[in-house]
Structure 1
Amino acid sequence: MCEEGGLRFGSLPEPLRLSLGFVGACSPFFLGVLKKDPSLVSVLRSLGERGCRVYDPDDALRKCVGEAADRDALARALRQWRNREMAIIAWQDISGQLGIDEVLARISHTAEAAIRAALSWLFEDTCRRWGVPRRSDGSAQNLVVLGMGKLGGRELNFSSDVDLIFAYLEDGELSDRNATTYAEFYTRLARALVQVLDAVTEDGFVFRVDLRLRPFGDSGPLVVSFDSCERYYQAQARDWERYAMVKVRAVGGDPEDGAEFERFFQPFVYRRYLDYRVFGELRSLKGKIVAELRRKDRGDNIKLGPGGIREIEFIGQAFQLIRGGRHVGLQDRSILVVLERAGQLGLLDREAASFLCEAYRFLRKVENRLQEYEDKQTHDLPTSPERRELLAYSMGFDCWDGFGDELERIRRRVHGIFSEVIAEPSPQVTAEPMLDGSEAELALALAGFGGAADAMADALVKFRASAPIRRLGTGAMGELHRVIGKLLAELGHLGAADAAAILPRVLRLLESIAGRGVYFSLLAENPAALSQLVKLAAASPWIMRLISSAPILLDELLDPRTLYSPLTREALAREADILVGSLAPEDEEQLMLRLRQFKAAHQLRIAAADIMKVIPVMVVSDYLTDLAEVMIERALRLAWRATAARHGVPPVETGASPDFPGFGVIAYGKLGGIELGYGSDLDLVFLYDGVASDAVTDGPRPVSAAEFYARVIQRLVSLLTTEMLGGALYEVDLRLRPSGSSGLLVSKVDAYENYQLQRAWTWERQALVRARFVAGDPQVGARFDAIRRAVLCTERDSRQVRLDILAMREKMRESLMDRRPGVFDLKQGVGGIADIEFIVQFGVLVSAAKHCEITRWTDTVRLLESLLTIHFLTPEQADRLRRAYCDYRGEVHRLALQEMPALASSSEFTEHRMAVQAAWKHIIETPAP
């Protein structure tokens, strides 16, 4: 017969007998619980044999708490239940039946269950004594227990404290004779809960409770109301408290009230902008950690020592605090999830992220083995040879040396990664930018700016005297000094003339963002971002204005790999869906703002790649068009959802799209022709089909189908055109719909078809050449494509078409062309872009009846190729027109980025203009014989 500490295991199956002996040797705590409660062996036997939990801890907890007659009995029952449950967890952990992730989650669940059960019992008991606190609707209102730290993250270690905050939602008074306030009631309840959980009795404790993270710490009230909590965190909370709130989670009390508190803390922790102001705070915190590491007694501490658990947690939470507002995936309480997502987002090297996850699991496993030994909160490695060998054995190593070598390897690498995160800034440039005029001039001259020093000094002096800069606080001013010093160093690599031109542009940007000093920190902390900013400032005032209107775009400068790599249509759609899905549907203003930021960020990428000639001009338009279509579809989804919630949706034919049944968005002009520029507006027409005009919607406020679609359009246009911080998403032009501005906002497809075939003017059919379906129900899109093809492929009198086109072109020149001497209007000038487009549209209108295949495309370049294929154009004409069109478009893009009109000198593009004029005269002005 085998005996262990007075227990007899001889009748047990050999695997269980061996595991009990192994775990008992590694954990005297486990052995002690087993001695007090031998019946636990049968539970362990069932668990081992069946691989399932025949013992339900929550059910056992409810039963023992329900039988408690008074608070002493409650305390005793909770401790006995807790010891039994923790012994089971220790056995499953040490014997290898559970992975460390599940062990931590089980311990956290045990603490949470104990808190909930104790609070429920004590709330009823306190209500019997003092009365019931009620909300304004009359329902009983319990205390809310907020779990912080590892409890909030469901990562509690074996002998951990639980960090708690006690709060309640609505204030008031009880109906007793003393008019007891809710604050008094909940304070009594909270004290009783702490006593039941924390006090050490002959049965031990349930969980140690730490309340120091509450507002005002130890000097603050034990319990806070929602209102006082809100006031504190909005006005008085210290910066480090954001760090503490990363894992906050309601673990007891009313679930709805708890969710309300969680929603309140979310924006406090995760700022909507990239929060580089937290760098100083994190660097200070890191400094404290480093100082702690230098203590001689920390070398063998696997939590606080070098390469320990706290360093890994700091790495993950630094990314959360800085970038969690932008990357919703980082807003997770689990450090492992955060590290994995930091790797996926490229914020942390993927291999390093994977290593940190495994290192964290290893260290937490060591931590549990240390604490499972005697159920003591320790993180120090043992010093005695016997304990060391036992720890190594419990970790699966044959000896201490093997375990120690692996632990040292892991800790050394963790500490190396930790040292690189929030590193100390490089020494500041010694040039002091905020001097008076003469000294600034001297400083700049000494820095090598030569003849440009005077102008640059003047720019700096004016900048320093501007109202936004004068209002800066000490901290922001210090960061600005760092930025200016590094900016001057960056400009020192350029010629004096270039530096003199660039400095005022960057200073205007800095002045525009002075109210948000966090961006000074971003530029001060990231020399590479400042370097990219200087490059873009040199190339494009438009980009600088874009960034000034949306300073959050400065984040895009951090990684040149993404800055100069615009996304494909599919990737844009995925990112936009993640963005929209991360925000509350009812928060329309925030959705509109974030869509504008999304568009601006991707416009910046396109413009940066364009300026650096990473992508050709035609691809620039493709990217801008893709971006516009993605924005239209997301805005349409929001408009549809809001309108359908109010009115329901119209009945449509079977087979319609489930997203936007019976509705389609048609793009004309540059969007239809896949030729958008940086400032292009959107020419849109809206159609509906598959529903009777007199049909009504199925919602609480039914309207006709036509009215429903009109309201969707009004909402869509509002979402796109509303001026917000950073401007409108797009300007929208609806004048190309049938009958123009006097026509209906939305046309039934049959009516649209009849109009195009019977009543449309030649210029409207010209516009149809570049029209295409871009969003909505694909069935409506297919119907539109058929109508467009039928209209364009109709036989026409080429002489009449020629006369109409000549008249329209002359009208446009008269009203739109810049006629100043020495100027060539790239768009409307003779031999310019519009002439090429009119040649193409004429070719389609007079040729498609015999060659309907040429209507497949809507963009000018591919239409030129199609007209060559059918011999409408000669190879020389097609080539010259294509090269002229691309060069003109490239120049228009370049001028737009310089915020200059689409004008060139009359001495430029002479060959192109002559070629276009020759084609125009031969094709348009000279009738075929």
Structure 2
Amino acid sequence: FQLIRGGRDPALQIRPTLKVLALLAQRKLLPAAAFEELSGAYVFLRRLEHRLQYLDDAQTHELPEGTGDRSLVARAMGFHSWDAFRAALEAHRARVSSHFEQVFSAEEVSKHALAPLWTGPEQAETRLGQLGFRDPAGTAARLAAVRSSPRYDGLPQASRARFDALIPRIIEESAAQEDPDAALVRSLEFIETVSRRAAYLALLEEHPAALARLAQLLGASSWAAEYLNRHPVVLDELLDARALFARPDWSAFVQELRGQLASRQGDEERQMDWLREAHHALVFRLLAQDLSGALSVERLADDLSDLADAVLQVTLELCWTQLRVRHREEPRFAIVGYGKLGGKELGYASDLDLIFLYEDPDDRAPEIYARLAQRLSRWLTSRTAAGVLFDIDLRLRPEGGSGLLVSSIDAFRRYQRESAWTWEHQALTRARVCAGEPAVGAEFEEERRAILRIARDEAKLRRDVLSMREQLLQGHPNEGGLFDLKHDRGGMIDIEFIVQMLVLAHAHRRPQLTANSGNIALLKLAAKLELIPGDSADAVADAYREYRRRQHRLRLNGARYARVPAGEVRNHIAATRALWRRVFASE
């Protein structure tokens, strides 16, 4: 762990083994049980080492042969007999070996059975076909192209030897995937991408289990392949399956971010890079869990949203400390998320819809918080060697793109009550505070609920919502024969608009509807309040789940549009259209 992570995590560069083990457990890189067992074994073996050396006053690590010496060692270790001591020793050794095997894998033999496929004999196509490749001729040609490429020719001898050793294993692992051809193409592309980094080649050659996990990820998703090619630094996450598949501890993650950024104080470039690498690493862990089937779409969206919240909070704190002029110790400032972030439906590639608010009577506040918002935006969107944190969209702020970058709560309140369009109130149904001062966040939430509870002319509201829906349809024409899960009639946007209409039309009498609890929960609440039939709410909730699941899978494999044959979701479309007609009295 120190060799793998110590370069990016200075805290792991300490020497005392027990302190390192405790730190690994604290950061969830080791399970609590592993920490206890490894710590216990380390103390036991250290005590044994000292007693062996006391025995003959010599540097030795070998157990004694004589009966008398064995008896002395056993008693010194607190055992009544040599057999009891030896049983305890073997138990500790077995536990250490077990944990070692979970992190490392034994090296394979140097000559792989599939090595001839890499050298390109005439029988390669036949053998590739036997392995299950659907286009053996194309696969053989791709291997030959890699072998004759300038990039391969330019590798140092040691790196080329590792590259040569890896390719047969990659062929073998790719053949085990559902789509061997795609898995191999993506794996070869990735190996070429990292080939000039000898450490990455060594990592994969020396740890077959990591290579197997890599092939599984690349075979399962073209988006995962693109992500790894952009951020190969996350490769070391594959070494330990326990850490890779552990649930995130958000409190520990935030503390880790704060500590690491503090250790790089004064070096903004290193801070930016580390923040991005930490974010990439956690996204990659979630991706691995997602592709393994461990996460539902809803759970993944919650995790990605929580991750964004954590990064926003820490980045806000850091940007505040970097301002030269600050008029208070802590800013009275909040970051509000709209859209996918606000509704906790964030995807891997979602941008963040944000607005910045403050509540501060100081005359200097507008200028200082404007500078804070500018710095925060730069930190989130700047491209460094480690990439970009987030793409952000600030156009939902009062007055849109022409408005001030940051608004006071009072200005936000006036705008929402006097100038906002209906669609801006629709957007408020999915808004929430993601980071910042809790008191400012509470004021925003109170105002958000108050605005949603305003009594509205239902006929005008219906016309406004229908008009906005028509604009969205015109902006996303679908002239193909497939059903667009998001934009077409009967799809996800229709469901979202149904929920928003129910909230804005009825929240003045049913304040429970102002809760930002998600579209499915709000549909069920509307049914409980007898605003819509229960069977319709259940059917449309099922449709929304299925649409999201299908959309997610399509995007994981690079689909530009989330479109499917309409017949596959016919019942979901019908249920959504039926509830639409009931709520809007319109097609």
TM-score of the superposition, structure 2-length normalised? 0.88
Q: Displacement, 1:799?
A: 0.8
Change (3 A) 1:569 1:924: farther
Matched, 1:826 2:485: yes
Alignment of 1:563-642 (within 5 A): 563-581=244-262, 583-642=263-322
Match of 1:467 in 2: 150
Q: 1:454 aligns with which of 126, 131, 137?
A: 137
Distance 1:441 1:724 in 2: 43
Matching residue within 425, 441, 446 for 2:107: 425
Unaligned runs of 5+ in 1: 1-318, 372-376, 651-657, 695-703
CA contact (8 A) 1:674 1:858 kept: no
Amino acid at match of 1:434: W
Q: Give the CA RMSD over aligned residues.
A: 3.4
SS at match of 1:438: coil
Compute the displacement of 1:365 (Å).
5.2
1:320 Cα deviation (Å)? Answer: 3.1
Match of 2:523 in 1: 864
1:355 match: 41
Give the number of the structure whose alpha-carbon radius of gyration is greater.
1
**1-side partners of 2:106 and 2:433: how far apart?**
54
Percent of aligned pairs sharing the same letter: 34
SS at match of 1:785: helix
Counterparts in 2 of 1:580 and 1:369: CA distance versus 1, 3 Å = farther
Is residue 2:165 matched to residue 1:477?
no
Amino acid at match of 2:233: I
| Structure 2 residue 12 is the aligned partner of structure 1 residue 330 | yes
User: Cα offset for 1:543?
Assistant: 0.8
Q: Distance in 1 between matches of 2:528 and 2:47?
A: 66
Seen in structure 2, the aligned counterparts of structure 1 residues 476 and 415 have a Cα distance that, compared at 3 Å, is farther
1:364 corresponds in structure 2 to 50
Cα distance change, pair 449–821 in 1 and its aligned pair in 2 (3 A): closer
Q: Aligned partners of 2:97, 2:538: CA distance in 1, in Å?
A: 59
Alignment of 1:388-399 (within 5 A): none
Whether the 8 Å CA contact 2:52–2:61 is kept in 1: the answer is no
Number of the residue aligned with 2:342:
672
Structure 1 residue 559 corresponds to structure 2 residue 229: no
Separation in structure 2 between the aligned mates of residue 398 and residue 785 of structure 1, nearest angstrom: 63
CA contact (8 A) 2:380 2:390 kept: yes
- Give the whole-Å Cα distance in 1 for the aligned partners of 2:292 and 2:310: 25
Residue by residue over 1:695-746, the C-alpha shift from the partner in whole angstroms, topping out at 9 and shown as x without a partner, is xxxxxxxxx2211111111111111111123531111100000001111111
Query: How far apart are the structure 1 equivalents of 2:81 and 2:258?
Result: 49
Aligned counterpart, 2:332 = 662
How much does 1:911 deviate? 1.6
Distance across 1 between alignment mates of 2:375 and 2:52? 58
Shift of 1:451: 5.8
Q: Note the C-alpha offset of 1:568.
A: 4.9
Q: Structure 1 residue 513: deviation in Å?
A: 1.0
1:504 to 174, 185, 193: 185
Deviation at 1:792, TM superposition (A): 0.9
Counterpart residue type for residue 425 of structure 1: E
Matches within 5 A, 1:254-269: none
Change (3 A) 1:365 1:891: same
**Could you give the per-residue CA deviations for residues 306-335 of structure 1, whole angstroms, max 9, x where no partner exists?**
xxxxxxxxxxxxx53344335545321224
What is residue 776 of structure 1 aligned with on the other side?
436
Specify which structure has the bigger relative contact order, considering alpha-carbon pairs within 8 angstroms and separated by 6 or more residues.
2
SS of corresponding position for 1:676: coil
- Contact 1:356–1:414 (CA under 8 A) maintained in structure 2: no
**Count of residue correspondences:** 576
Q: What whole-Å deviation, never above 9, does each CA across 1:461-497 have from its counterpart, x for those lacking one?
A: 11223333222112112222222122222234457xx
CA distance in 2, matches of 1:358, 1:398: 11
Q: Distance in 1 between matches of 2:17 and 2:306?
A: 36
Equivalent of residue 118 in structure 2, options 412, 434, 438: 434
Residues 398 and 679 from structure 1, CA distance in 2 versus in 1: closer, same or farther, beyond 3 angstroms? closer
Change (3 A) 1:507 1:637: same
Offset, 1:457: 0.9
Contact 2:22 2:35 in 1 (8 A): no
Three-state SS of the structure 2 residue aligned to 1:908 is: helix
Given the alignment of the two structures, is residue 762 of structure 1 paired with residue 412 of structure 2, yes or no?
Answer: no
Which of 701, 720, 728 is residue 388 of structure 2 equivalent to? 728
- Counterpart of 1:882 in structure 2: which amino acid? A
Q: Structure 1: how far apart are the matches of 2:77 and 2:473?
A: 86
Amino acid at match of 2:540: L
SS in 1 for 2:356: strand
Structure 1 residues 712 and 758, CA, compared in 2 at 3 Å: closer, same or farther? same
Distance of 1:352 and 1:525 partners within structure 2: 23
Evaluate the alpha carbon distance shift between residue 369 and residue 718 of structure 1 in structure 2; reply closer, same or farther with a 3 A threshold.
Answer: farther
The CA distance in 2 between the partners of 1:450 and 1:783, in whole Å, is 60
Aligned-pair CA distance for 1:408 = 11
How much has 1:406 moved relative to structure 2?
Answer: 5.5
> CA deviation digits over 1:103-152, x for unaligned, max 9?
xxxxxxxxxxxxxxxxxxxxxxxxxxxxxxxxxxxxxxxxxxxxxxxxxx
CA contact (8 A) 2:38 2:95 kept: no
Is the 1:437–1:457 contact (alpha carbons within 8 Å) kept by the matching residues of 2?
no
TM-score, normalising length from structure 1? Answer: 0.57
- What is the letter of the counterpart of residue 637 of structure 1? E
Deviation string 1:564-623 (CA, Å, 9 cap, x unpaired) is: 444254454355445445x32222222222222222222223233333332222212111
Q: Does the CA contact (< 8 Å) of 1:566 and 1:623 recur in 2? A: no
3-state DSSP of counterpart to 1:881: helix
User: How far 1:642 sits from its partner (Å)?
Assistant: 0.9
Q: Counterparts of 1:874 and 1:666 in 2: how far apart (Å)?
A: 33
- Alpha-carbon separation, structure 1, partners of 2:290 and 2:174: 23
Looking at structure 2, the residues matched to 717 and 576 of structure 1 have their Cα atoms a distance apart, in angstroms, of 18
C-alpha distance 678-380 of structure 1, shift in aligned 2 (>3 A): closer
Code of the aligned partner of 1:826: L
Structure 2 counterpart SS, 1:725: coil
Structure 1 contact 397–403 (Cα < 8 Å) conserved: no
Is the CA contact 1:662–1:691 (under 8 Å) kept in the aligned structure 2? no
Within 1, Cα distance between the matches of 2:89 and 2:166? 37
CA contact (8 A) 1:431 1:443 kept: no
Counterpart of 1:438 in structure 2: which amino acid? E
Q: How far apart are residue 444 of structure 1 and its match?
A: 3.5
More deviation, 332-341/798-807: 332-341
List gaps (5 residues or longer) in structure 2: none
